[in-house]
């Protein structure tokens, strides 16, 4: 009986620590996004890939949006992007240009603003799709 109580207590502690860690990581991600939004340099980027993966038994879908942009004459492809929402996934069009903000000291830290497409660049979508296919085989 005492052993089962200890196991239950241990499980509760592990769950609480897990929830605290998730909460802390989520807060850090929000801080990072707010920092980029406030201090980042604005440019235009191109969506280069949209994808999703389905979770196992929980049927949780994870959405990803990859993009690139030009900084100092180099094409930058940000890494460690936050998971996108299903709504963002539906907004993102491969080859379309969108507003991007990045940190000048580390351009790979960037955000794409899918709610702010650059419609004036839509005439170049097909050309951008060709570039994407050639560059990211």
pTM equals 0.75
pLDDT over 90 percentage in the chain: 39
Secondary structure (3-state) at 8: helix
Give the DSSP letter of residue 84: B
Q: Is pLDDT above 70 for 56?
A: no
Q: What is the pLDDT of residue 101?
A: 95
Q: Which residue has the higher pLDDT, 18 or 38?
A: 38
Q: What is the pLDDT of residue 58?
A: 65
Contact 46, 95 (CB under 8 A): yes
| CATH class assigned to 40-135 | mainly beta
Q: What is the pLDDT of residue 27?
A: 66
Helix (H) or strand (E) holding 1: none
Given strand 74-76, what is the order of strands in its sheet?
74-76, 61-71, 41-54, 97-103, 106-117
Q: Best-predicted range by mean pLDDT among 6-15, 92-101, 122-131? A: 92-101
Q: Which of 119, 115, 135 is nearest to 49 (CA)?
A: 135
Q: What is the pLDDT of residue 95?
A: 94
Q: What is the pLDDT of residue 100?
A: 96
Average pLDDT over residues 27-53: 84
Judged on CB neighbours under 10 Å (0-12, 13-18, 19+), 121 is middle
67-121 per-position pLDDT tens digit? 999 999 999 999 766 678 888 888 899 999 999 999 999 999 999 999 999 999 8
Q: Where are the domains of the chain?
A: 1-39, 40-135
């Amino acid at each position: 009986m005492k052993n089962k109580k200890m196991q239950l207590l241990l499980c509760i502690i592990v769950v609480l620590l897990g929830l605290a860690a998730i909460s802390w990581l989520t807060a850090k991600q929000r801080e990072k996004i707010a920092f980029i939004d406030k201090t980042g340099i604005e440019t235009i980027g191109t969506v280069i890939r949209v994808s999703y993966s389905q979770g196992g038994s929980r049927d949780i879908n994870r959405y990803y949006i990859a993009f690139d942009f030009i900084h100092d004459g180099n094409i930058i492809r940000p890494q460690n992007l936050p998971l996108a929402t299903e709504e963002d996934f539906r907004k993102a069009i491969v080859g379309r240009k969108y507003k991007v903000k990045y940190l000048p000291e580390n351009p790979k830290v960037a955000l794409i603003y899918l709610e702010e497409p650059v419609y004036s660049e839509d005439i170049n979508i097909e050309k951008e799709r060709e570039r994407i296919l050639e560059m990211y085989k």
